[in-house]
Amino acid sequence: MKRSLKTATGLFAGILLVMPVIVTAEESERTQQGFELAREFCSRCHVIGDYNRMGGIGNSPSFPWMVKSADWRERFTTFYSRRPHPVFARVPGYARWSESDPYYPPFEITLKEIDLIVDYVETLRSPE
């Protein structure tokens, strides 16, 4: 009985040690996917981090700057409804917010992809 209890305790402790690695690997993958989506959809106008720190266009706020706002998460998760994005960003299942002709090639992005971008942006926050 003592041996099986020791074995079970050892296995449980081993699982607890490995769990953070599994979660970290999954988070890392989501963060990488979010970065790739931000690079594809956002980096033409916004500085999204070190990737294009001298890029973007002058009147577009950078991701590192925006993430300092108290409401940054809401702003990122609803960006498609905030000017100027409604003209060119399309989210399946949501009505088109604007009938204006896009001045930028329109793109479609899902809510899941937006969540991945938010996961990436989270990594740009300074520790508090």
Please say if the pLDDT value at position 120 is more than 50: yes
127 belongs to a structural domain? no
12 belongs to a structural domain? yes
98 belongs to a structural domain? yes
92 belongs to a structural domain? yes
Taking only the tens place, the pLDDT of each residue in 2-29 is 556 555 555 555 554 544 444 476 778 9
14 belongs to a structural domain? yes
Domain encompassing residue 57: 2-122
96 belongs to a structural domain? yes
pTM of structure: 0.76
Residue 107 belongs to domain with CATH number:
1.10.760
Beta bridge partners of 89: 107
128 belongs to a structural domain? no
Taking only the tens place, the pLDDT of each residue in 44-100 is 999 999 989 888 888 899 999 999 999 999 999 999 988 888 888 999 998 877 778
Q: Return the pLDDT at 122.
A: 95
Q: Return the pLDDT at 3.
A: 58
DSSP per-residue letters across 46-93: S--SGGGTT-S-TTSPPHHHHTTSTTHHHHHHTGGGSTTGGGTEE-TT
Domains: count for the chain: 1
